[in-house]
Amino acid sequence: MANIFAFVETRGTDIRKVGLEAVTAARMLADGSGGGEVHALLLGPPGIAAKAPQAAQHGADVVIVVEHAGLANYNAEVAASTTADRIKSGGYRAAIFSTTAQGRDVAPRVAARLGVSIVTDVLSFEVEGDAIVVRHPVNIGKVIATLAISATPAVLAMRPNVISPAENPKAGKVENAQPSVDPGATRVKVTETRVGGAGKLDLAEAPVVIAGGRGLKAAENFKLVEDLADAFGNAAVGATRAVTDDGWRPHSDQIGQTGRLVSPELYIAVGISGAVQHLAGMRTSKTIVAVNKDKDAPIFKIADYGIVGDVFEIVPALTAAIREAKKGH
């Protein structure tokens, strides 16, 4: 029997979907190792405490809430020290984080403070005697490694979207806690968080990602991609490096080896050739659709469904058809 810790990622006063995935993963691990408790940590500004029931709903026996006016923006030092202190005192078998920009920032710091290793971008895990065995892509996903972690706690950051948040209601006893360090006194401060646009979906979490490439010809033509995303209603917009290099879209939209990693239910590549470096960021998407005028474009090799032709003709038609299909629901 072993207790498992989950770091529940937040943005503002909301729990991110990856946060519920972390709780779900922790629940699986606790149940898989003889039925321990899941302790979930929630850090954020006033208002975050109200979200504790969501963590309980997904399997947390205890929800540790650190609510502080100084946590409106992410504070790495507060997050790392508060989390590490809690894990030290809790005696956990494993600690689960998310492989997002924030998770990649906080998890290695926590592990270093605990004096243990960490594996990020975990695809699956298993308890095997004294070791926790995980699968992790190396060489930008061209090779899959099976790794045995002997450290206690085993610190894992899960790849977003490989475990769906599952309801499994537990008591979710709330423990209020204070930040280990004063958020006003840290050496690094986030002065501003700029979110893409009102109501814009987050690339790491969106169930549908529409990505545009150089085939769109100009920045203003991303309107086509945005309209398609809008028709879906649950889609985020991404881009290739060719596009972010040309300044058509911000770097935070870039998907691929050097950009962000996405794994949505549906990925639609619009005017994208399918260079290996791009595929590295999206090849684990469940369904891939490609629209490209070149029938030999490499993207068609990994696309489940492809349409050969001009994006300027096909994308508006697809947008109209999706709007129509959504109306039926």
Partner 1 sequence: MKIAVCVKRVPDMDVRFKIGGDGTSLDEAGLKFDINDFDAWAVEAALQLKEKAGAGEVTVISLGPDVVQETIRKALSMGADKGVHLKADRVPFDGFTIAKALAEELKAGAYDLVLFGKISPDSSNGVVGPMVAELMGVPCVTAISSLEIANGRGTAKRELEGAQEMVEFSLPVVLTVDEGLNTARYPSLKGIMAAKKKPLESKPAQLAEPQVKVRKLELPPDRKAGRIVGEGAAAVPELVRLLQTEAKVL
Ligand X SMILES: Cc1cc2nc3c(=O)[nH]c(=O)nc-3n(C[C@H](O)[C@H](O)[C@H](O)COP(=O)(O)OP(=O)(O)OC[C@H]3O[C@@H](n4cnc5c(N)ncnc54)[C@H](O)[C@@H]3O)c2cc1C
Binding site for ligand X (CB under 6 A): 213-215, 240-243, 254-259, 271-273, 275, 277-278, 281, 292-294, 297, 310-312
Smallest gap, in angstroms, from Cβ of residue 236 to partner 1? 6
CA of 51: how far to CAs of 7, 13, 65, 323, in Å?
Answer: 14, 8, 9, 33
Q: Does 282 sit near partner 1 (CB under 8 A)?
A: no
Question: Across-strand partners of 43?
Answer: 66
- DSSP code of 163? S
Each residue 41-80 as x (binds partner 1 by CB under 8 A) or -, in order, gives --------------------------------xx-xx--x
CB of 255 to ligand X, least distance (A): 6
Please, how many CA atoms are within 13 Å of residue 311, restricted to the half-sphere of its CB? 27
Encoded amino acid at 248, one letter: W
Q: Which range touches partner 1 (CB under 8 A), out of 32-40, 56-64, 161-169, 186-194?
A: 186-194
Residue 204 interacts with which of ligand X, partner 1, none, CB < 5 to 8 Å by class: partner 1
- Minimum CB separation of residue 294 from ligand X in Å reads 4
Q: β-strand 14-15 against 10-11: which pairing, if any? A: antiparallel
Amino acid at 258: T
Instruction: Please choose which of partner 1, ligand X, none residue 253 contacts, taking the beta carbon within 5 to 8 angstroms, the exact cut-off set by kind.
Output: partner 1
Nearer to partner 1, 21 or 121 (CB): 121
Binds partner 1 (CB under 8 A): choice among 50, 145, 171, 185: 145
Long-range contacts made by residues 317-324, C-beta under 8 angstroms, separation at least 24? Answer: 318/228, 318/291, 319/224, 319/227, 319/228, 319/230, 319/231, 320/231, 322/228, 322/231, 322/232, 323/231
**Nearest distance from residue 111's CB to partner 1, in Å?**
7
